[in-house]
Amino acid sequence: EPEVTQTPSHQVTQMGQEVILRCVPISNHLYFYWYRQILGQKVEFLVSFYNNEISEKSEIFDDQFSVERPDGSNFTLKIRSTKLEDSAMYFCASSETGGVREQYFGPGTRLTVT
Amino acid sequence: RKEVEQDPGPFNVPEGATVAFNCTYSNSASQSFFWYRQDCRKEPKLLMSVYSSGNEDGRFTAQLNRASQYISLLIRDSKLSDSATYLCVCPHFQSGGSYIPTFGRGTSLIVHP
């Protein structure tokens, strides 16, 4: 069964450093998403992406965040200057079609900012 | 009013029991909803979609009550493996017609022998 993959599974970085989280969505999916989940809290939407453009972003997704689809398979989330409060689990998801449809999540990257 | 509200639980039930969770939402424009389950420190996994009045899949039944703006998830004949956190997801529509998938905090279920 096709699945979303994410690398690395765990990233430790120092405050102020840049990190890039990587995702490979399901191959025939066209819509991509990033979410974060701070430990013990709810899953929060960051951004949606379609046709090489951001479709929607939340208030969390400020100027320190960016997304990119550098090739036909990868979808990345970059955090330019990490803060302690960026420590969280970051999930990538994809869906086959747009609209309100099922999304399939990757296993997540645990980001720890020290 | 919070956008998506769930009773955090935990719901502690014996194997074989029937248990139901509710999820209330504030955006009346929402017409499609989802239930995900999340195991500890794992990703959300899609459990059921709710596009109209309801949906049934084996031991799981999801229902939508538009008038009262809530969806419910019923689990019959609970198994130990059903122990997880159940997340409700509602789309929160924006002015341009796009939407933000909005998660509830989840309801924790513990099924014991």
Q: What is the pLDDT of residue A107?
A: 97
Task: Decide if pLDDT at A30 tops 80.
Answer: yes
B95 CB neighbours in chain A (<8 A) are: none
Given a cut of 60, is residue B71 above it in pLDDT?
yes
A31 touches chain B (CB under 8 A): no
CB atoms closer than 10 angstroms to residue B72: 17
For B46, nearest residue in chain A (alpha carbons): A104
pLDDT at B83: 98
Residue with tokens 């502690």: B12
Does A107 lie at the interface with B, CB-CB under 8 angstroms?
Answer: yes
Give the whole-angstrom CA distance, residue A64 versus residue A83.
10
CB contacts under 8 A, A 54-73 vs B, are 55-56, 58
In this model, does residue B100 exceed pLDDT 90? Answer: no
A112 CB within 8 Å of a chain B CB: no
Residue A45 has pLDDT above 70, yes or no: yes
Chains A, B: CB pairs < 8 Å:
48
Half-sphere exposure of B8 (CA within 13 A, CB side): 4
Answer with the residue of higher pLDDT: B87 or B50: B87
Q: Across-strand partners of B112?
A: B14
Question: Is B93 an interface residue toward A (CB < 8 Å)?
Answer: no
Inter-chain contact A56–B100, Cβ cutoff 8 Å?
Answer: yes
| A58 neighbourhood in chain B, CB within 8 Å | 100
pLDDT score of A7: 97
Report the pLDDT value the prediction gives residue B30, as an integer from 0 to 100: 77
Look at residue B53 in the predicted model and tell me its pLDDT. 74
Kindly state whether B22 is in contact with chain A, defined as any CB-CB distance less than 8 angstroms.
no
Report yes or no: B41 at the A interface, CB cutoff 8 Å: yes
Residue B53 DSSP class = S
Please name the member of B49, B103, B105 whose beta carbon is closest to the beta carbon of A102: B49
Q: Is B105 on the interface with A (CB under 8 A)?
A: yes
Question: pLDDT per residue over A10-20, tens digit each?
Answer: 999 999 999 99
Q: How far is B105 from chain A (nearest CA, A)?
A: 5
Give residues with Cβ within 8 angstroms of B67, minimum separation 6.
Answer: none
Both tokens of B6, joined, read: 């769930």
Arithmetic mean of pLDDT over chain A: 94
A54 contacts A68 by C-beta, under 8 angstroms = no
Q: Give CA A3 to chain center in angstroms.
A: 15
Per-residue pLDDT for A89 more than 70?
yes
Q: Does A96 touch chain B (CB under 8 A)?
A: no
